[in-house]
Structure 1
Amino acid sequence: MNLPGQEEFEVSSACENVPTGELDSGPGSGPSPNGLSDTDRGELGVPKDPLLFIQLNELLGWPHALEWRETGRWVLFEEKLEVGAGRWSVPHVPTLALSSLQKLRSLLAEGLVLLDCPAQSFLELVEQVTRVESLSPELRGQLQALLLQRPQHLIQPIGTRPCQGSAHPREASHNEEAPLKEQRQNPLRRKLPPGAEAGAVLAGELGFLVQPLGAFVRLRDPVVLGPLIEVPLPSRFFCLLLGPSTLGKGYHEMGRAMAVLLSDPQFQWSVRRASNLHDLLAALDAFLEEVTVLPPGRWDPTARIAPPKCLPSQHKRLFSQLREVKGPSAGHGALTEDRYGHWPHAPSPELQRTGRLFGGLVQDVRRKASWYLSDFLDALHPQCFSAVLYIYLATVTNAITFGGLLGEATNGAQGVLESFLGTAVAGAAFCLMAGQPLTILSSTGPVLVFERLLFSFSRDYSLDYLPFRLWVGVWVATFCLALVATEASVLVRYFTRFTEEGFCALISLIFIYDAVGKMLSLTSAYPIQSPGYPAYGCFCQYPDLGGNESQWMRTEPKDRDDISSMDLGLVNASLLPPPECVRRGGHPRGPSCHTVPDIAFFSLLLFFTSFLLATALKHVKTSRFFPSVVRKVLGDFSSVLAMLLGCGLDSFLGLATPKLTVPSEFKPTLPGRGWLVSPFGANPWWLSVAAALPALLLSILIFMDQQITAVILNRAEYKLRKGAGFHLDLFCVALLMLLTSALGLPWYVSATVISLAHMDSLRRESRACALGEPRSFLGIREQRLTGLVVFILTGTSIFLAPVLKFIPMPVLYGIFLYMGVAAISSIQFTKRVQLLLMPAKHQPDLLLLRHVPLSRVHLFTAIQLACLGLLWIIKSTPAAIIFPLMLLGLVGVRKALERVFSPQELLWLDELMPEKERSIPEKGLEPEYSLSGDSEDSELMYQPRAPEINISVN
C-alpha cells in the first residue's frame, strides 16, 4: 500500500541486527512485519502494512461506578499509565506472564472471532460483538451501554513537564462517532505517520457476567471508532476480554498480552491475512514458540527493560514465512540474496565490466543524466543551508591550511591564492559534471607530499618547476583517461575494509597531526613568558650623541619622570613600555617586546573550546535534552555554532590572536609569472617525455585516493538511490588535472574526511517515530547544489576578507581536530585497537568475538597497525616518492592475509575478495553465520546504519 507524502518515513527493511526504527520497508509502511525485503515482498505479492497503534482500555470501578480508562498503549514498545503521577511511563520492552498468554489462547479459542467484519461505526461493532448466545437480552443491553461509554484518556501536551498532563472524563454517548477536540489536538498524532491504523483492546472484570466473554474482530475496512482511541485513527482490530471477578487482575494481564501480540510484527502480519480461527491460533502458537521465559526467582517482573539499540534478527521468521508461501527451498535462497545483498562489494551496475572502450563511462553518464534535474530540485531544503555553512568553513580552512603548506613546500611557486582559485574552479566543475556530486575535492596530504618531493627534485637538478609540473599533470591525465577507457575502476571491488581502513586512518591522522602541529607552532610565534626569565627580556636602547648605540647600563631610576634625566643608554622596559621608548627616540630590543603573554594560552583555550563544543553539540542531537527540533538544529549546526562561539569569546576578550589570512589581490603568488604556465620554460624538451615516470607514480596515488574515497561514499548503508559514477568521477579528475596543471594551480582529488562530513550534514531522518523509538536514518539528500555553492563561496572569499579576518586560526584548527577525531574514532579498526587494551572480561559482547578467537583478532589488528605505521614513516621521510606504491601495496598485503587467516575469519574480520566469494560454497559459511537474533550493537557485517561522520564501514 503506497501512501502519499511518506518520504520521511521511508526506511529499508533489514534481516540482520536492525537499528530500532529501521523496520519500515518503504513509503507508507509501518513496522515491517517480519523483515521481508522489498524483493521478497514483490515475489510473494505481500502488500506493505501500515503502522499499528494499540491501546488498552481497562474497566475499573466494579461494583460501584464503572468507567473505561486507558491504561496502556503500544506501537513498538509499551507505555503504562502512571496513575499517581498523571503521566505516561517511559517506553519499554513489555514483559508478560506465560500464564496470561495461555489463558488468552483458551479464551479466544472458545470466544467470538469475526474476520473482515463489515461494521462501519462503533455502534454497529458493539452490536456484532454482543450478539452471542450466552448473553440474555437484558445483559446484552447492559453490556452495550457499558461498551459505548466514553473512556478516560490522558492527553499530555508535548514539551511540558510530565505531571502537567490531565485526564478528561467523558460522559456516556451512544451516537457520537466524530472524534473529540482533544483527540484531534493530541500531540501524539505528529509522532505517527500518515496511514497508521489503530487496534483497541478492552479488558476488565464484570460482576454480572457468569462466564468469560472473549471476542476478536478484524474490520474489513478500518473505521474511526469515535472517542474509543485517544488518537483519531481508523481502527483495524478490536478485542474484548471481559469476565467475572474470579480472575482478579487476570483480565488486565490478558489485555496486555493481546496488545503485545498485536504490536508484534510477525503476529500482526499473520492476523491481517488470517481466514479463520485456526489461522489466528496458529499465529499465537508461533508467537509462543519464540517467547523467552525468565526464572521467577532471578527476575523482577516489575522491572522495565529499556528499548534496545538494535532489534533482534528476523531471519527465522523470514524463513518460516517464505517456506510457508514458497516452499521449503525458499528460505535458503533468501538468506543468500539478503546476506550478499548487504555486502559492500556485491556486483553492482557501476562495477560491471562492459568490455567496450569507455563503456563504463557511457553507462555512468546515462545513469546520472536522468537524475540531473532532481540534483538541483532536491537541494531546496533548509538542511542544505546548514550543510553549505559547515562545509564552506571547512573547505576555506582546508584551502588556507594546504595553501600555506604548499607555499612553504614550493618556495612560493604556489600559495593561498592559487589554493582558493583552484578549489573554486575544480570543485565547482566537479560538482556540475561528476557522478557522485557529494564528493568534495580538495588538496590532500598524500598529494601534498608528492608536490613537495617533485619541487625538491626540480630544485636539486635546477629544473623549472612549474613547466615540469605541467608535463607531469598532462601525463597523469593521460594515464587516468586510459584507466577510464579500460574500465579499471571495477578493480575497486578489491579494496576491502582492510585497505579502506588503512587509508582512512592515515588521512584522519594527517588531519589530527596538522591541527595539533599548527596549534603548537603558535607557542613559538607567541612564546609563553615565565616571570624573571632573562631570555624574554625587553629593553629600550638609545643612540648616543656620536650616532653609536649606547652601552648597557644597569642603574635603576627612582621613578618614571627620572628616566629622561638619567644618562642611560639602556633602560629596563618594565619602567618604559615599547611605545614610550619609541616616542623618546629609542629602540625596543628583546624577543618579547611585541608579544602578549596571554595569546599562547588563550589560543589553546580557543582550540580545545571549539573542538569540545563541536563534539558536544553533535552529541546533543541524540541526547534526551531539549525538544527534538532544538536538538536537530544544534546537531546540524554544531561546527558552525562552535566557530561562532569561539569567535565571540575571542572578540569579547580582544586579545591579538592570529586570525584567518585571506588574500585581497587577485594575482599569482610567484612574482613575474602569468596565469598560464609555459610548456617548457628553461627546461629541455626531452623533460616532457621523462615526466611520464613521476606521473606514473602520481597516477597510482590519484587512482587510489579517488577510488577509495568513492567506495566509502557509495556504500550501501548510506542508502543512496541515484547510483555511483566511478568511471565518470575519474574522468572528471583527469580533465581537472589538465586544467590545474596549465594554470599552475594545486592538484585536487576527493577529500575523504570533508566528503564524509558533507554527507553527514545531509542525513535524512524520519520525522515521526514510534514511542520509544529513536529517529531512523533514511538516507542522504543527494544533490549538486550544496557543493556548487560551497565552491562558489570559496572563490568569492577573497572579497570577504573584511569578515573572514575576524575568525581566529585556533578555532579553525579545533574544527580540523574534530573532523579527524570523529572520523578515526568511528572506524572498526579503532574499536579493535581498543580491544588490545581491554582485559577479556571487560570486552564488549561483539559478534566478532563469538566467531573469531581473540588472538586472531589481535593478530589482524596488529598487522593493520604495522601497515599504518609503515605508511606514516614512508610519508614522513625522503622515501615518500614510493608512497603511492605503498598504498597499492595494501591490496597485496590483504591478498597475502588469505594464507594467514581462514575465509571464515576474514568474513568476520574484513571481507572476502570477489573470487573468494564465488569459490567458497555458501553452505561452508552458514554454520558460523548466526541466525539467533544477536541484538548487540555489533560493528560487523555491513549493517544498514549511518553514524555521525560514518566511516564505521571503512
Structure 2
Amino acid sequence: MKRPDVFTEISLLTDGEIPRGAIPVRPAGSPSNLHWREVARYVVYEEVFDDETRKFNPPQYPSFPYRYFDRLCTVLQKDLLVLQSNATTSEDLMKDAVKFLESEGELTSSEDLVNLELALTAPRWHPQVNRRQSIHHIPRLSISGPPRRPSLVAKTEETMGFTNKNLSVCLRDGAEGCSIMVGCLPCLSQPLYLLIRLVTDPAPKLLGMVEVDVGIRFVLLALTPRVNEERAMYQTGRCFATMLNDSRFLTALRHSQDPGDIYRAALGFRRDIILISGNYSEILNRSGGIDVSSSDDEVEFERADLVFEDILEADLQEEMTSSNLSLEKEPQAHCSKHPCKRLCPPFYELMCGIKALASRMPSDYIDAFTKDNVGTMFSSILFIYFVVFAPSVTFGTLMCKYA
C-alpha cells in the first residue's frame, strides 16, 4: 500500500475541562478551558474518533453530502484567505495569523484579537498521545526573569515526546502534516477561512499541531461565530482533508499564489469523485463514511486442500499400480476405415437396409413358386389388376377428360 504524502488531522475547538495529557502551546498555559481536541485523522483512509468508546473507529472511505463540497468550492473561490508564514513554533504561527487577520480588517476590536489569540493558542489534545510525566519533563518556572530559551536538541526531544510514534512509522520519509482547526468562536463577526502555508524548507515540526512526528506544511482555520454552523465547518474540513489525497490539488496548494488556482484544482477533483444517490444511505456507517473491507477475511477450504501435490500424485500412482492399469501412452489418432459411417450415418443405414433386402428377396421369390403358394400368388396378381389397378386407370382417364 502506498504511504501518504500528507498526514491530515481535524481538531475541534472545545470549551470544557482540559483532558489529561493535553499539549500546551503557550509557556504560561491557557487561562480558559478552551482546548483543541482531535476528532479525525487521515493516514490512508479516514479515521474518526468516537466519544462513546473513547477510541478511533476502524478506517473508512470518507463520504459527505455534496452540498458541503459545493460549499467548500464556493469558499475557495470567494472567501478563502491565504497567509504565508515563516514561523517555527506553534505560538508564533498563531500570532502571525492574528496579525494577518488584523491587517485584513477581519477583527478590529483589541478584545476580540486577544480572545482569538487565546483560542488559537489553546492546548491541543490527541487521544493516542499521552506522554508520561516525570520530574524531568515538568516545565521550570523562573521568578527572577523569563525562562531560558530551550536548545535545538531539547526542542527536538520535547517534540518527539508529544507524538504518536507508532503512527509516525506508517508515514513515508519526508511526509508533511496539515492541521485543520474548526469550531465556533463568538468573537468573530462572520465565518473565517484562513489557509496558512508554511514556506520554511524543510517544514517545521510544530509542537502539538498534529499527533505524528512530521513537519507542518498547511494549517486551515475554519471558524464560525454561530453554534449551528459548527457541524457544517466540520464537514467542510472533511472535504478539504479528502482533497489533499489528490496530487493535482496538493500541487496547487503548495505552489499557487492565487486562490483561483486552488479553486480550479478543486473543480478538477470534483470530476473524479463518485456520487451516490441518497436512496443508498444504508451503505454509510455511523461515522458518515463507507467501511473498508477487511483484507484478512477467513478463507474456507477442505481438509484435502492441505495435502501437497506430490503426495496426491504418489497416491494416484499407487492406486493405478494396484489395479493393474497401464500407464502406456494413448495410441495416436488415425483415419477410420469406414468414412461413410463416421461422416454420413444416414447413408450407412441405407446401405445396411439394401444389403438386408437383397439377401432376403431371392428367398421370397422362391417361396412364391412353391406348390402351396402358387394359387395364392396368381389370385393376388389378378385381384390387384382388376380390382385395384383397372378402376384407378378408369377414374384417372375420366378426370383428365373433364378437367
Q: Same fold (TM over 0.5)?
A: yes
Cα deviations by residue, 1:638-675 (Å, 9 ceiling, x for unpaired): xxxxxxxxxxxxxxxxxxxxxxxxxxxxxxxxxxxxxx
Following the alignment from structure 1 to structure 2, what is the Cα–Cα distance between the partners of residues 118 and 186? 26
Tell me which structure has the larger Cα radius of gyration.
2
Read off the aligned partner of 2:223 and give its amino acid letter.
Answer: L
Following superposition, the deviation at residue 114 of structure 1 comes to: 2.4
Contact 2:160/2:213 (8 A) holds in 1: no
Contact 1:77/1:91 (8 A) holds in 2: yes
Superposition CA RMSD, Å:
3.8
**Equivalent residue number for residue 230 of structure 1:** 211
Read off the aligned partner of 1:139 and give its amino acid letter.
Answer: D
Contact 2:15/2:34 (8 A) holds in 1: yes
Following the alignment from structure 1 to structure 2, what is the Cα–Cα distance between the partners of residues 244 and 289? 32
**Equivalent residue number for residue 106 of structure 2:** 134
**Equivalent residue number for residue 49 of structure 2:** 81
Following the alignment from structure 2 to structure 1, what is the Cα–Cα distance between the partners of residues 292 and 215? 27
Read off the aligned partner of 1:57 and give its amino acid letter.
Answer: S
Contact 1:155/1:182 (8 A) holds in 2: no
Following superposition, the deviation at residue 145 of structure 1 comes to: 1.8
Read off the aligned partner of 1:112 and give its amino acid letter.
Answer: L
Cα deviations by residue, 1:842-873 (Å, 9 ceiling, x for unpaired): xxxxxxxxxxxxxxxxxxxxxxxxxxxxxxxx
**Equivalent residue number for residue 69 of structure 1:** 37
Q: 1:112 aligns with which of 61, 67, 81?
A: 81
Following superposition, the deviation at residue 293 of structure 1 comes to: 2.3
Following superposition, the deviation at residue 305 of structure 1 comes to: 2.1
**Equivalent residue number for residue 541 of structure 1:** none
Following superposition, the deviation at residue 181 of structure 1 comes to: 5.4
Contact 2:131/2:162 (8 A) holds in 1: no
Cα deviations by residue, 1:471-502 (Å, 9 ceiling, x for unpaired): xxxxxxxxxxxxxxxxxxxxxxxxxxxxxxxx
Read off the aligned partner of 1:95 and give its amino acid letter.
Answer: S
**Equivalent residue number for residue 378 of structure 2:** none
Contact 1:54/1:263 (8 A) holds in 2: no
Following the alignment from structure 1 to structure 2, what is the Cα–Cα distance between the partners of residues 248 and 237? 21
1:166/1:524 CA distance change after superposition, 3 Å? farther
Q: 1:97 aligns with which of 39, 43, 65?
A: 65
The answer on 1:263 being equivalent to 2:245 is yes
Following the alignment from structure 1 to structure 2, what is the Cα–Cα distance between the partners of residues 278 and 880? 79
Cα deviations by residue, 1:481-530 (Å, 9 ceiling, x for unpaired): xxxxxxxxxxxxxxxxxxxxxxxxxxxxxx94x5313135678999xxxx
Following superposition, the deviation at residue 270 of structure 1 comes to: 2.9
Following superposition, the deviation at residue 257 of structure 1 comes to: 1.5
1:185/1:216 CA distance change after superposition, 3 Å? closer
Following the alignment from structure 1 to structure 2, what is the Cα–Cα distance between the partners of residues 101 and 185? 30
Contact 2:164/2:213 (8 A) holds in 1: no
Read off the aligned partner of 2:13 and give its amino acid letter.
Answer: L
Q: 2:166 aligns with which of 187, 193, 196?
A: 187
The answer on 1:518 being equivalent to 2:317 is no
Contact 2:249/2:269 (8 A) holds in 1: yes
- The SS at the match of 2:190 is coil
Following superposition, the deviation at residue 102 of structure 1 comes to: 2.4
Contact 2:184/2:223 (8 A) holds in 1: yes
Cα deviations by residue, 1:291-318 (Å, 9 ceiling, x for unpaired): 22222232144454234799xxxxxxxx
Gaps of 5+ in 1: 1-20, 24-29, 32-50, 157-164, 311-510, 527-875, 882-954
**Equivalent residue number for residue 150 of structure 1:** 123
Gaps of 5+ in 2: 18-31, 142-146, 296-307, 333-403
1:281/1:879 CA distance change after superposition, 3 Å? same
Following superposition, the deviation at residue 234 of structure 1 comes to: 0.4
The answer on 1:274 being equivalent to 2:246 is no
- Among the aligned pairs, what percent are the same residue? 22
Following the alignment from structure 2 to structure 1, what is the Cα–Cα distance between the partners of residues 193 and 68? 14
In proportion to residue count, which structure has more strand?
A: 2
Following the alignment from structure 1 to structure 2, what is the Cα–Cα distance between the partners of residues 519 and 118? 75
Contact 2:36/2:122 (8 A) holds in 1: yes
Contact 1:54/1:199 (8 A) holds in 2: yes
1:198/1:238 CA distance change after superposition, 3 Å? same
- The SS at the match of 1:226 is coil
Following superposition, the deviation at residue 77 of structure 1 comes to: 0.9
Read off the aligned partner of 2:10 and give its amino acid letter.
Answer: L
Contact 1:223/1:234 (8 A) holds in 2: yes
**Equivalent residue number for residue 194 of structure 2:** 215
1:231-380 residue pairs with structure 2 within 5 A? 231-245=212-226, 246-300=228-282, 301=284, 302=286, 304-307=289-292
Read off the aligned partner of 2:120 and give its amino acid letter.
Answer: L
**Equivalent residue number for residue 53 of structure 1:** 7
The TM-score normalised by the length of structure 2 is: 0.59
1:472-621 residue pairs with structure 2 within 5 A? 512=309, 514-519=310-315
Following the alignment from structure 2 to structure 1, what is the Cα–Cα distance between the partners of residues 164 and 66? 38
Following superposition, the deviation at residue 118 of structure 1 comes to: 2.6
- The SS at the match of 2:124 is coil
1:308/1:271 CA distance change after superposition, 3 Å? farther
Following superposition, the deviation at residue 263 of structure 1 comes to: 2.8
1:878/1:191 CA distance change after superposition, 3 Å? same
Cα deviations by residue, 1:61-83 (Å, 9 ceiling, x for unpaired): 38994221001110221001022
Contact 1:198/1:233 (8 A) holds in 2: yes
Contact 1:154/1:166 (8 A) holds in 2: no
**Equivalent residue number for residue 878 of structure 1:** 329
**Equivalent residue number for residue 336 of structure 2:** none
**Equivalent residue number for residue 379 of structure 2:** none
Number of matched pairs: 276
- The SS at the match of 1:231 is coil
Read off the aligned partner of 1:84 and give its amino acid letter.
Answer: E
1:251/1:184 CA distance change after superposition, 3 Å? closer
Following the alignment from structure 2 to structure 1, what is the Cα–Cα distance between the partners of residues 163 and 93? 22
The TM-score normalised by the length of structure 1 is: 0.26
Following the alignment from structure 1 to structure 2, what is the Cα–Cα distance between the partners of residues 102 and 78? 20
- The SS at the match of 1:138 is helix
- The SS at the match of 2:290 is coil
Following the alignment from structure 1 to structure 2, what is the Cα–Cα distance between the partners of residues 516 and 144? 75
Contact 2:205/2:213 (8 A) holds in 1: yes
Cα deviations by residue, 1:752-793 (Å, 9 ceiling, x for unpaired): xxxxxxxxxxxxxxxxxxxxxxxxxxxxxxxxxxxxxxxxxx
The answer on 1:199 being equivalent to 2:167 is no
1:298/1:83 CA distance change after superposition, 3 Å? same
Following superposition, the deviation at residue 127 of structure 1 comes to: 2.3
Read off the aligned partner of 1:149 and give its amino acid letter.
Answer: A
